[in-house]
Chain A
């Protein structure tokens, strides 16, 4: 059973139109055929009754003078006068057959008197029976019976059915075409709205209004949508502003706290106290990195993120990042698989390191302890490719694009890992600003994060292309 809600509005409109017209035309044709056939039957019955009357009148003397031959002669004439009459009979006042006629090749007539007990004409499926009294001097002296083969009626019926079916098909086609034409004024506009919504979701650009000049419900919907988008944009702007201010305001006291705690850490000798201070410092570092992330996002949003471009040795940077990450993890093993060269990259060293640290920290966070994280690099004519492979939970195919969005957290509720969901967003932004690419490949068991950076000699051409 198809749910009506699952059918698209476009198809619903077409279905509605086509169904309505089929029903309406069906009823109209039905009534038309029924009245037509019944009026044909009425006319046929009337004409046959008249014929029976004529035969009756002509047979009065035959009955009175008991001359069945002359009555039979009259009936024989039916052969040419009314070929559709297959049986005819004249009975006398006692109801006995006085004269009869059967079309050649047919059995003799058996009067279905039970059919005509009280009526002058009766229709069966293929026949019409007519009975008409023969009256002389106000006395019924006999009856004329006729059996008419309704071949013409069958032909008429068939013809009408054919016409009705053809007309119905034509109506169907026309209503389909009309519906197709009309639906575009409804569903096309809705689909346009949906497309814009999808686009907004993808790009986060709320400021693009949908143009729809219609004054109907869809026009109203579009207007409401545009207003909503304006409001969302406004609140988004306020939120970004807030994040910017808040992260900035948080950073200052946090830096101060960190300084003091670091000093405490250096000064403290008591192992228990030193442990506590160490823990506090660890959490301060976490907090600091979160605030930094927030600040970065805020900068990205407001377009204030500036890159400090310089030439630097990428291989050295990778080694440094691995070393730094290795310190922070006790159990995981970070292995560099390639043979480091001395690749010089033009970019913001600090920001690229941020990306590397982020990806490595993710690899550690999302994979079980004591597993290996493998770092590999490759180079083609245009770009330097960095590959970070883990044996973690992997990324489902449908999430592989979304994980690079702001505040995106995995949909898998069984995974509880703290964070704002900003790391990959920032990574993507940094890599994009370097004219590189970042993506993930995952087969369910572990994932591989790639990012590329353009080689120095290709950078100038890429910049001009963009």
Chain B
């Protein structure tokens, strides 16, 4: 009885940490996880000469609970000792001088336009199947109920960035 209880307890308890996204889990949890992933990406990306400004800016294109989640992280964490600023992309000009551009599913702008606008020095992250192939650096996918990410090496290098090996070994590489 006791061990059975423990097993179930462990199963339920461990699920969020396994990155498993069962049907019951709501979008908020998914958003939290994605936000954490985005924050963790910053640790493995070398912005090189594009590291400018006093703040670390993450621009979110489109309405998404991720904005909320990122703001939660920004309250307690910093990137390279810089304050994290999360801003919604209201106008295309908002993309200027950001470090990360996160393109949500709800984004109204066409992808090609956003990629062009982002230019070098901006890490583009998306969450739509096939976006990595179309040119975003990282793209979230769900595989076997787990959150994974694709990486487009060309996109990363053409943006003038370098991704750490530790990060890339976990990524699904696409062309």
Residues of A bordering B, CB below 8 Å: 58, 60-62, 64-68, 70, 92, 94, 96, 98, 136-137
B17 touches A92 (CB 8 A): yes
Contacts of A58 in B (CB 8 A): 166
18 contacts between A and B (CB under 8 A): A58-B166, A60-B166, A61-B44, A61-B164, A61-B166, A61-B170, A64-B36, A64-B43, A65-B37, A65-B40, A65-B167, A66-B33, A66-B146, A67-B19, A92-B17, A96-B13, A96-B14, A136-B43
The dominant DSSP class at the B interface is helix
Looking at A58, A61, A64, A65, the one whose CB has the most chain B CB atoms below 10 A away is A65
Partner of A98, one of B17, B166, B169: B17
Using A61-B167, A65-B167 as known contacts, list a sample of 16 further A-B pairs with CB atoms less than 8 Å apart, ordered by residue number in A: A58-B166, A61-B164, A61-B166, A61-B170, A64-B40, A66-B17, A66-B18, A67-B148, A67-B170, A68-B18, A70-B170, A96-B10, A96-B13, A96-B17, A98-B17, A136-B43
Closest to A74 in B: B169
Closest to A70 in B: B170
Interface bracket on B: 20 to 34
- Given contacts A64-B43, A136-B43, whether A94 and B170 have CB atoms under 8 Å apart is no
Contacts of B147 in A (CB 8 A): 66
- The A-contacting residues of B in range 121-175, CB under 8 angstroms, are 146-149, 164, 166-167, 169-170
A61–B165 alpha-carbon span in the complex (Å): 10
Contacts of A65 in B (CB 8 A): 19, 37, 40, 149, 167, 170
A92–B33 alpha-carbon span in the complex (Å): 15
A129–B37 alpha-carbon span in the complex (Å): 32
Closest to A73 in B: B169
User: 8 smallest A-B Cβ distances: which pairs?
Assistant: A66-B19, A61-B166, A64-B40, A67-B170, A65-B170, A70-B170, A61-B167, A61-B170
Closest to A136 in B: B43
A215–B88 alpha-carbon span in the complex (Å): 110
Contacts of A68 in B (CB 8 A): 18
Partner of B169, one of A61, A64, A136: A61
Closest chain B CB from A198 CB (angstroms): 88
Contacts of A137 in B (CB 8 A): 43
A58–B17 alpha-carbon span in the complex (Å): 18
Contacts of B36 in A (CB 8 A): 64
Closest chain B CB from A74 CB (angstroms): 10
- The A-contacting residues of B in range 26-51, CB under 8 angstroms, are 33, 36-37, 40, 43-44
B17 touches A70 (CB 8 A): no
Closest chain B CB from A54 CB (angstroms): 13
Closest to B10 in A: A96
A65–B148 alpha-carbon span in the complex (Å): 8
Contacts of B167 in A (CB 8 A): 61, 65
Closest chain B CB from A440 CB (angstroms): 98
Contacts of A67 in B (CB 8 A): 19, 148, 170
Contacts of A60 in B (CB 8 A): 166
Closest chain B CB from A65 CB (angstroms): 5
Closest chain B CB from A310 CB (angstroms): 125
Contacts of B10 in A (CB 8 A): 96
A229–B18 alpha-carbon span in the complex (Å): 104
Closest to B79 in A: A137
Contacts of A94 in B (CB 8 A): 17
A94–B14 alpha-carbon span in the complex (Å): 10
Closest to A67 in B: B170
Closest chain B CB from A21 CB (angstroms): 60
Looking at A66, A70, A92, the one whose CB has the most chain B CB atoms below 10 A away is A66
Closest chain B CB from A68 CB (angstroms): 6
A64–B44 alpha-carbon span in the complex (Å): 11
Contact with A along B39-80 (1 / 0, CB 8 A): 010011000000000000000000000000000000000000
Contacts of B43 in A (CB 8 A): 64, 136-137
Closest to A58 in B: B166
Closest chain B CB from A137 CB (angstroms): 7
A466–B40 alpha-carbon span in the complex (Å): 122
A70–B146 alpha-carbon span in the complex (Å): 14
Contacts of A62 in B (CB 8 A): 170
Contacts of B149 in A (CB 8 A): 65
A136–B77 alpha-carbon span in the complex (Å): 13
Contacts of B170 in A (CB 8 A): 61-62, 65, 67, 70
Closest to A139 in B: B77
A70–B148 alpha-carbon span in the complex (Å): 12
Closest chain B CB from A306 CB (angstroms): 120
- The A-contacting residues of B in range 86-118, CB under 8 angstroms, are none
Closest chain B CB from A90 CB (angstroms): 12
A337–B52 alpha-carbon span in the complex (Å): 147
A136–B13 alpha-carbon span in the complex (Å): 24
